[in-house]
Amino acid sequence: MRVLGIDPGIGRMGYGLVRSQGNRLRTEDYGCVETRPGPTGDRLVRIYEKMQELLQNLNPDVVAVEQLFFYRNVTTAFHVGQARGVVLLAARQAETAVAEYTPMQVKQAVTGYGSAEKGQVQRMVAMLLGLPAPPRPDDAADALAVAICHLHTAPTMALVRGRNGDDRFPAGENRRSES
Amino acid sequence: MRVLGIDPGIGRMGYGLVRSQGNRLRTEDYGCVETRPGPTGDRLVRIYEKMQELLQNLNPDVVAVEQLFFYRNVTTAFHVGQARGVVLLAARQAETAVAEYTPMQVKQAVTGYGSAEKGQVQRMVAMLLGLPAPPRPDDAADALAVAICHLHTAPTMALVRGRNGDDRFPAGENRRSES
């Protein structure tokens, strides 16, 4: 099982590929792509193309993303939402399943404690992956943590994916044309 | 000048093409695409493909989108952000310029009054476009309004686009690999 963890953002997107090998976990690639300040469209194209490259080169079975409900403010939520939109789009187009986990689920799965501190999570990520030190930058460590979370909790994935649906809106298309 | 106005959302996306003909404005196509409840990735693919279709078929010079800074809550901001991300991505990939306007700018440009009510805006949209009645659904009317806003305020577009950049994050790519 190969899981690509993603920590989306408009300025920085962390990523990390974790694979399970027997009962050991290993990473094959992790890092962080930063986008140049400029028009949002350009930054989104960069994120989208990086996602396409990661999906093609790393060939994950699942993309795991953190599901944040609480942001410092709506502007942050809005910016992260834009980046996350193109991440989910690229995953869906590559026909790769997406699993979403809350920060508490990630902490719980990685450290056994849902309120663990960032440093603890990072040290556990290093230990579980057999790395000599916590991975840098933080965005990459966060991406690896959500990938590990998926591998530790995969049996509940169907349940988690079922919750991604949004039933608030009706279906169908309503369209008019004039010329 | 042909302007495609977009009112993005994960459940409903309004759109409307407005062209200037001498000093008159006309619409060629407007409507609203609704996405089926289900995984967010599927809904984003639908929005993305609809955007590609609109860009190809309507061949706009500019895509005009509302820029909302204040949402009822972060969850709404996050969902709208995801939809908006794929809208901006599709526009950028089609090499179509994007202009963003605040709701107050739209109201001001359409009715001459920045705090106009929704009904007033919709009646003015109908009048300016020579439609017999306010366009339905509301999402389509909102999309037409932002397109009209662009046509009424295009000279300031360069200024507006310059504000789309986000200078909070550094440039460059920071990447590590392990195997």
Contact yes or no for A89/B89 (Cβ under 8 A): yes
With 0-12 / 13-18 / 19 or more C-beta atoms within 10 angstroms meaning exposed / middle / buried, residue B138 is: middle
Q: What is the pLDDT of residues B65-80, one digit of tens each?
A: 988 766 667 777 788 8
Q: Which residues make Cβ contacts (< 8 Å) with residue A18, sequence separation at least 6?
A: A2, A3, A5, A25, A26, A27, A28, A129, A144, A147, A148, A151
A151-160, B6-15, B154-163: segment of lowest average pLDDT: B154-163
Of B33, B37, B171, the CB nearest to A175: B33
| CA–CA distance, B115 with B103 (Å, rounded to integer) | 9
B81 Cβ contact partners less than 8 Å away, ≥ 6 residues apart: A77, A78, A79, A80, A81, A82, A84, A85
The CATH topology of domain A2-160 is Nucleotidyltransferase; domain 5 (3.30.420)
To test the contact with chain B by mutation, choose from A2, A40, A96 the residue with the greatest count of B C-beta atoms within 10 A, namely A40
- Neighboring chain B residues of A177 at a CB cutoff of 8 Å: 28-31
CA angle centred on A44, ends A39 and A48, rounded to 5° = 155
The DSSP code for A61 is: S
Active site residue A139: yes
Task: Name which of B84, B177, B176, B174 is nearest A12 in CA terms.
Answer: B174
Cα–Cα dist B21/B86, whole Å:
30
**Contact between chains at B88 and A82 (C-beta distance less than 8 A):** yes
Q: Is the pLDDT of residue B139 over 80?
A: yes
CB-CB contact of B85 with B49 (8 Å): no
- Residue carrying structure tokens 């994120």: A47
Contact yes or no for A70/A112 (Cβ under 8 A): no
Per domain, the residue ranges of chain A are 2-160
**Residue predicted with more confidence, B17 or A78:** B17
Alpha-carbon distance of B130 to B18, in angstroms, equals: 12
Cβ of B81 and A86 within 8 Å?
no
Return the pLDDT at B71. 62
Strand partners, A57: none
CB A81 within 8 A of CB B77: yes
pLDDT of residue A177: 40
Residue B161 burial (10 A CB sphere; 0-12, 13-18, 19+):
middle
| pLDDT band of A70, cuts 50, 70, 90 | low
Peptide bond into B135 cis (omega under 30): no
CATH superfamily of this structure's domain B2-157: Ribonuclease H-like superfamily/Ribonuclease H (3.30.420.10)
Distance from the Cα of B46 to chain A's closest Cα (Å) equals 9
Q: How far apart are CA A171 and CA B38, in angstroms?
A: 10
Mean pLDDT of chain B: 85
* Residue A125, CA distances (Å) to A135, B17, B22, B40, B177 in order: 8, 50, 63, 28, 16
Residues of A in contact with B135 (CB under 8 A): 176
Q: What's the pLDDT score for residue A173?
A: 37
Q: What percent of chain B has pLDDT over 70?
A: 83
Taking Cα atoms as reference points, which of B142, B123, B147 lies closest to residue B3?
B147
Chain A residues with beta carbon closer than 8 angstroms to that of B67: none
Burial track A43-63 (b if 16+ CB lie within 10 A, e otherwise): bbbbbbebbbebbeebebebb
Does the ipTM exceed 0.90? Answer: no
Q: Which of A28, A34, A49, A66 is catalytic?
A: A66
Half-sphere exposure of A48 (CA within 13 A, CB side): 25
